[in-house]
Structure 1
Amino acid sequence: MISWPCMLKLTGDDELIYLESERDFMSECRDLLFCDDDYVIDSAGYCYLIESTSEKLALIKTEQMLAAHEVSNLIRAHEFKKATLCLTKIHFLTVLDAIKSLSY
């Protein structure tokens, strides 16, 4: 079962999208065009592919799981693009803490 909150990682883009709940996922992603390599990372580090049909969006769990340092690296790239934080200070002990940082 997916652990919310999550973040959306689009292929070829360092921007991350914070998703508080499944409702936010549906609302935020309803009109996006997805690439096969786009994925959602949940608070436990599990990765989910996005399956889009004409009727709904679904998250399909993969075997890939990211550690806190891997998610921290994604956050660093995201923040570098915004150029608002000192990147060397970005470090998270848990995936949940990393994902929650996107909500601020």
Structure 2
Amino acid sequence: MALLLKLEGDDELLYIASEASLTDELNSLIYSDEDILVDSNGQVYGVTTDSRGIVVLEYKHETLSLEDVTLLVQAHEFSLAQVCLTKIQFNSIAEAIQALHFAQ
């Protein structure tokens, strides 16, 4: 499992390596209905809680393209002011998500 977490109103992305790390991140954040998770296929999930307060991922019936994910990663790197944006290119969405893991 590898996901990226995009918080509403923030260009910074969080790399999520496992269900446990997702739980840890969500427990430490105040998340909104506009936050999204993107999996390695580009599928988009929202973060909600059920009536017991348990975090639930809700498939948004939306899929981001490789170009969309690349733009998210470029905005993330620009917000950190560390990398030349034109050098950020990927062959797959999974590769784009993994790049965040290696950048941490």
TM normalised by structure 2 equals 0.92
- Are 1:16 and 2:13 matched, yes or no? yes
> Following TM superposition, by how much is the alpha carbon of 1:35 offset from its aligned partner in structure 2, in angstroms?
1.5
Report the equivalent of 2:74: 76
Contact 1:30/1:57 (8 A) holds in 2: no
Secondary structure of 1:102's counterpart equals helix
Deviation digits for residues 17-48 of structure 1, max 9, x if unmatched?
Answer: 00001111001111311121111001110000
Report the equivalent of 2:92: 94
Secondary structure of 2:31's counterpart equals coil
2:44 to 43, 47, 52: 47
Report the equivalent of 1:59: 57
Q: Count matched residues.
A: 101
Moved over 6 A (4+): none
Contact 1:5/1:99 (8 A) holds in 2: yes
Secondary structure of 1:75's counterpart equals helix
The unaligned stretches of length 5 or more in structure 1 are none
The unaligned stretches of length 5 or more in structure 2 are none
> Following TM superposition, by how much is the alpha carbon of 1:6 offset from its aligned partner in structure 2, in angstroms?
0.2
Secondary structure of 1:103's counterpart equals helix
Higher helix share: 2
TM normalised by structure 1 equals 0.92
Q: CA RMSD in A?
A: 1.1
| Cα distance in structure 2, aligned partners of 1:75 and 1:64 | 18
Q: Percent identity?
A: 37
Secondary structure of 2:56's counterpart equals strand
